[in-house]
Chains A and B, each alone.
Chain A
Amino acid sequence: MTPASDQNAALLARIGIDRIRAQETARRRRAFRRALPFLAPATLFVVVFLLLPVGYNVWLSFTRWQRFQGWDEFAGLANYFRLAGNPFFGRALANTAMWVGASIVFPIAIGLALAMFFRRMPGQEMFKTVIFLPRILAPTAVGVMWFYVYAPDGLLNRGLSLFTDEPVRIGWLFSEATITPAMIATFVWQTCGLVMVLLLLGLAAIPRDPLEAARIDGATPLQIFRHITLPLLAPTLVMVTILSVLAGFTVFDLIWVMGSSYPQQRTLSLAVFMYFEAFQKSGWAFGAAVAVVIGLVVLVVTWAQTVWQARVERRLR
């Protein structure tokens, strides 16, 4: 042993580092034991009912599990390859892409316009409540209501008939070209209120000084909006955009209710495709693979949000 390390060891022994370390371990163990009764119920519930199922779902997607035939075998990526070649999956993917695209553009654009419009209006509370109203209703109830708006003899066709000579009888929810845009319109009608309220909260948090300064310097309202309001609102906009994308990507209730009479309902979105394959055709392992694909997309979007939000906030500072 070299003299230096000898010295160190002697020093450590004098401080009693081992004893301190043992005390520290004991203290941590005591603290953990004190916290455990508070932590255990929540952890147990989350692990048993949420995290274990996710793990099982991932595992299942790599097998050839068939119900009533019991455990079959490990199948590697076979389910995923089947997925790639499934024409219904392709169409479900395309429709989901349409949902995602629409839920980026419309709720944000309309919500922002409404927020700017109602921001300093007298009687604002009442208008806000009216626009927010659809959001309070369950998606199922909204779907039922709009099912009859879009029905062949429903409200929309009757309204359109006012402008034509012959009565309009379009089956909005029965043809491939119109069903997804029609449902998206309902979705936008329902979500704009929430987007507007969240953006109004963001607008209220913007400091007034830069706005006043710009106005005194003779900036037009459009310039103020473009160069001051919008950048300061960016963090809220990022948050709302991600919320909207995730909602549009995983929307299920609305499609399940409004598309219930559409013959090829499974092509309407990935979430519906997954439900159909698993619970109506008992393709459990295949359905699990679809769920994993949905999960991966959600994880990527959530991760992108974290990065994006951090970058926007850094730029503001």
Chain B
Amino acid sequence: MAVDLSTLDIDAIIRAEARSRRRGAWKIGLGVLLSLVWVVPFWFLFLTIFKSTEEYAAGNPLALPQGVAPFLDNVRRAWELGGMGQAMLNSALYGTVGAGAAVFIAAMAAFALSRLDLPRRDAWFLLIFAGTVFPFQMYLIPLFFGYQWAGLLNSRVGMCLFYTAICIPFPVLVLRTYMNGLSREMDEAARMDGAREFTVFFRVVLPNVTGPMAAVFLLQFTWIWNDLLFSTILANRPETRSIMNALLVFQGSYSQQGPNIVMTGALLASIPTVVLFFLLRRRFMEGLRVS
């Protein structure tokens, strides 16, 4: 379509363009300002970990550090005094075993709930899903008594068992939805060929839900890594406590050591999940979307 340029007010168009670009620039400026306000605490953390205790006490918290040398010392002291190494190993174990076992067990349950001809399917689903309805406070006292009775208090096995249990219902919900969406013809074809249900599960269904499984595994792993409450109650010993519990204990007993060391500890405790998040951001967001 030809346009008669003489009928257009070119100047007006150029002016409108410039105005909208100016507005865009103004908006970006405001956005940058907002982000800056948002990251001030991080900036504070970032500066503090490079300061010695004396330097922190003497100067402005937002003053640049005099050098980066105290950083290694802070890390060493947080690591040793806070028992971070052991605690991180514990949390890595709880997170991997707990979230891994939970997602696998949840996938099996979701298979039964979505692709097998199960009588009273909704009742079974509600029974499992009931595990997410109650607040954590209702689990604490009975778990503490039960673990004491069973000798599971302060044991790694006990922690893995509980984390597995609490991480099951949510993946069941997510994976059931995904499995409902898969075509049923493959199952039937495999069954016609005489495959047993376990073969159908492992060979046909499982390979099709690895994406969602990875997403919920990441969410559950992060939840376990960040959990403070259950480790405080069920495993409050240096050998078995989780990383967040160790951080809390460190803050409580070593606050006289200086904020620089405790904040270095907080950073160390956060690194694994933050790195995981940035490496697998897409999967995380996928997990968020399905939740």
Residues of chain A at the chain B interface (Cβ within 8 Å): 28, 31-32, 34-35, 37-39, 41-43, 45-54, 56-58, 60, 114, 117-118, 121-123, 126-127, 130-131, 133-134, 136-141, 144-149, 151, 153-155, 158, 189, 194, 197-198, 201, 249-250, 252-253, 256-257, 260, 270-271, 274-275, 278-279, 284, 287-288, 290-292, 294-295, 298-299, 302
Contact = CB atoms under 8 A, between A and B. Distances in A.
A303 to B, nearest CB: 10
A278 B198 CA distance: 45
Contacts of A292: 138
A241 B137 CA distance: 22
Interface string B19-47: 00000100110110011001111101100
Given A140-B244, A260-B248, A298-B133, 18 more contacts: A35-B118, A39-B118, A43-B127, A45-B165, A46-B131, A49-B161, A50-B130, A50-B169, A51-B127, A138-B270, A145-B266, A147-B251, A158-B61, A189-B38, A271-B135, A275-B137, A279-B140, A290-B137
A257 B226 CA distance: 13
Say whether chain B's binding surface is mostly helix, strand, loop, or mixed: helix
Contact of B42 (A32, A45, A133): A133
B190 interface: no
B172 interface: yes
Contacts of A141: 244, 247, 266-267, 269-270
Interface of B: 24, 27-28, 30-31, 34-35, 38-42, 44-45, 48, 57, 60-62, 105-106, 108-109, 111-113, 116-119, 124, 127-128, 130-131, 133-146, 161-162, 164-166, 168-169, 172, 197-198, 201, 225-226, 228-229, 232-233, 244, 247-248, 251-252, 259, 262-263, 265-267, 269-270, 273-274, 277, 285, 288-289
Say whether chain A's binding surface is mostly helix, strand, loop, or mixed: helix
A139 B228 CA distance: 9
B109 A53 contact: no
A103 to B, nearest CB: 15
A262 to B, nearest CB: 13
Given A41-B105, A158-B62, A257-B248, A138 B141 contact: no
20 contacts: A37-B198, A43-B124, A46-B127, A49-B165, A51-B130, A54-B139, A130-B38, A131-B35, A133-B39, A137-B273, A138-B269, A139-B226, A140-B228, A145-B266, A149-B44, A155-B40, A250-B135, A256-B232, A291-B137, A295-B138
Contacts of B111: 38
A256 B140 CA distance: 15
Nearest to A288: B141
Contacts of B108: 37-39, 41-42
The 9 closest A-B CB pairs, nearest first, are: A49-B165, A53-B142, A42-B109, A138-B226, A38-B112, A56-B142, A45-B165, A50-B131, A140-B244
Contacts of A291: 135, 137-138, 140-141
Contacts of A260: 248, 251-252
